[in-house]
Every structure is written in C-alpha cells, then in structure tokens.
Structure 1
Amino acid sequence: MGHPDRREEHASWSAEQCAGIEIVDGLVVASQSASKRYNRLALAPATALDGAAGTDSNADTDCDVCLQDAPLTDRRLDVIVCRAETVDVTPAPSEHVLSVIKVVSPVSKTAARIVKVDQYAKAGTPFYRRVEQAATGVPIVHTYVLDPAPEAYKDGEMLTGVVKAAVPFPVAVSLGVI
C-alpha cells in the first residue's frame, strides 16, 4: 500500500485496505482487533452520547479522524462526538470533533495515556476521556479538558459507576453494568 504522505493517496484506498489501520506521521500502523469487553466499554458511552446529542452533533464508535495533514495522521477513535454535518465525512476533520473517548487495552496503555492525549490536544479536541479497567475490573474514566493556549489537556476527574458529564452536552453513562 505504500506510505500515504498525502491525503489524496490515502483517500484512493479501498475500505478493505483501510480496515484495521491508522496512519501516524505518514506511516501505516496496524490496529489490534478489540475484545468483546473493549467493545462494550466503547458502546455504552457511544449509545448514551448519541441519544443525548440532539440534532447538532452525533456520537459513533470506530471512526476515523484526521488529526493533521502533514505528516498525515489519521486515528481510529473508539468513541467520537462530532458536529452533525460530518456524519458522512471520513475521516472526520479534527475541527469538527467535540469529544473523544479512548478505551484502553493492555497493548494501548502508552499510546492512550501519552501519545494520543498529545495528538488530540494539538488537533484542538476540546474533551478527551480515557476509559481503563482497574485491577478489580471496575471501569474508571479519566477526564481531560483542553487548554488551548499551550495545546495541552488539564487533568480532570476520575469517575466510576454512573458517569455524568455536562459537556459537550448533558449525559449520564452507567459503566457499572459492563
């Protein structure tokens, strides 16, 4: 497939060629298949967010977003909340992304905690939430809010059980049943 240095080259690839990959700094990176628990940890907030979104935005799972054009970086997000007008745009432009949720797997801890946090902040994503399972099996949500001046996130709350958020719109998600 080559290295997609340009958006046009990547846009010409088929859906089969794009399945299970991300483009990071112009390099193709394989994405691991998710476990059932991982998928459930993404589906619960996506469903709640989409139901609460109203007509101006929507939430989805397993979506691509363009974080930068040079070098090309497209990430596949576990849960994304975007402005409604981008529902048919792939990858979603970063300026239309309102919030992302990263579900952490055993192999994605470093990327989720350090690399992706930095990339989403530099792309201007207002809210980043990271979902991890504690050693006890209880899901924990780590919240971050963008500070635009340094293009970095401020640490927010750590939440469990029923997670309530007021931004980008009011929503409650029960993680206790997962």
Structure 2
Amino acid sequence: MTAEMVAPAWMHQQVTAEQYDAWTDEQSAGIEIVDGMVLVSPSASKRHNRLARLLANALDAAAGPDWNADTDFDVRLYDVPLNNRRPDVTVYRADSIDVTPTRPEHVLLVVEVVSPGSETTDRVVKTDQYAKAGIPFYWRVEQAVTGAPLVYTSVLDPAAGRYRDGEFFAGVVKTAMPFPVEVDLSAI
C-alpha cells in the first residue's frame, strides 16, 4: 500500500461538533458528518445540480419574505454524535440567514436529488434522519433515465416522528404545501 492510498487519520475518528465548528468552509465543503464520521460525497452531475438550482430558485421566489431557499450548506441535525447533512435544497427561515449552524428548527423543507450511489441514503436514511430531527417537509427528486424527473413529497407526522406520503409529480411540480409553488422540471 502506498502513502497515497492511506486514508488520513481524521477519517478513522469521530469528529465532535466543537472540532467541526473550527474547520474552515473549504475543509467542510463536499462532506457530511454522520454519527461523528466524515462522509465524502463525489461531485454531483450537471443534471443533478441543475435540478437542485431550478427547485431552489422556484422555491425561493415562491416562499415570500419569511423564507429563503438555497443549495449546498450544512444543516446540523444533532450535536452528539455529530450529524450534519448537506441537503441539495434547503428552505429555511430568512431571519436565520446569519445563524450558524443551521438547525432543524430553522428549516421548513429539505430536498434531495437522488443520484446513482445515493439511492438508499436519500430514500431511507435521510428520510428517517430529517423526520426524527423534526423538519416539516421532505421532497425527493428521482432522476428518470428517460422522461421528466419524478418528485415525491412528504409531510412530517410529528406524533409518529416520521413522514407520510404527500403529493407526487412527474415533471411539473404544482403544490400548495408548504406554500404555493409551480416549477417545470421536464425541460431538463
């Protein structure tokens, strides 16, 4: 085994919230922390990024002054063990724009765009984590091999601590939950 093949020591040790908070933006870019362990994500495809941006732009325009929609930043689900997720799109309270870390109570909706290699994580693991953290809405975007993307919406059932199925859309998303929004994803 060559020196280039040996993973750095920090990849074998749990990271605490205090350690992570001391990292620079460059050090924390492109990773998530699950149960204190660093998960490195590959760069997303252009299609994936475009879907996320189109959704973020539409959600931001429709959300009104109380909410912002952005892509690619950490949402701190738990401090111990540290769990930071980086949803593809996050709708969060506008008055929390300068609050770090972003916590579940700041978040209204998270969107994950499923890519090859993230299927189980986006369909099962993140769904469970976001629900247990109390995020009211979760949308999952499936990239169809042919045709328009499929969007599955979910609404939190707080008593059960899990999501229940919401609306389903093929290509054009037109919904009133969590606020009225319409976006055509079929042109991707």
Report the TM range for the smaller structure's normalisation.
over 0.9
2:94, 2:57 → 1: CA distance? 15
| Alignment equivalent of 2:82, drawn from 64, 72, 80 | 72
Shift of the alpha carbon at 1:16? 1.5
Shift of the alpha carbon at 1:137? 3.5
Q: Among all aligned residue pairs of Structure 1 and Structure 2, give the percentage whose two residues are the same amino acid.
A: 61
Q: Which residue of 2 aligns with 1:136?
A: 146
Q: Which residue of 2 aligns with 1:162?
A: 172
Q: Which residue of 2 aligns with 1:48?
A: 58
CA RMSD, 1 decimal: 1.3
Q: Structure 1 regions of 5+ residues with no counterpart?
A: none
Aligned residue pairs: how many? 178
SS, match of residue 71 in structure 1? coil
| Alignment equivalent of 2:121, drawn from 104, 111, 129 | 111
SS, match of residue 187 in structure 2? coil
Q: Which residue of 1 aligns with 2:29?
A: 19
Shift of the alpha carbon at 1:135? 3.1
TM-score (norm 1): 0.95
Work out which of the two has the higher radius of gyration on C-alpha atoms and give 1 or 2: 2
| Alignment equivalent of 1:127, drawn from 137, 146, 154 | 137
Shift of the alpha carbon at 1:85? 1.5
TM-score (norm 2): 0.90
Q: Structure 2 regions of 5+ residues with no counterpart?
A: 1-8
Superposed, 1:29-108 pairs within 5 Å as: 29-108=39-118
Note if contact 1:4-1:10 (Cα within 8 Å) is conserved in structure 2: no
Question: Aligned partner of 1:115: which letter?
Answer: V
SS, match of residue 92 in structure 1? coil
In structure 2, the CA distance between the partners of 1:5 and 1:76, relative to structure 1 (3 Å rule), is: same
1:121, 1:68 → 2: CA distance? 13
Shift of the alpha carbon at 1:168? 2.1
2:24, 2:54 → 1: CA distance? 29
Structure ranking higher in strand proportion: 1
Shift of the alpha carbon at 1:4? 5.1
Question: Aligned partner of 1:62: which letter?
Answer: D
- When structure 1 is superposed on structure 2, of 115-124 and 2-11 the one drifting more is 2-11
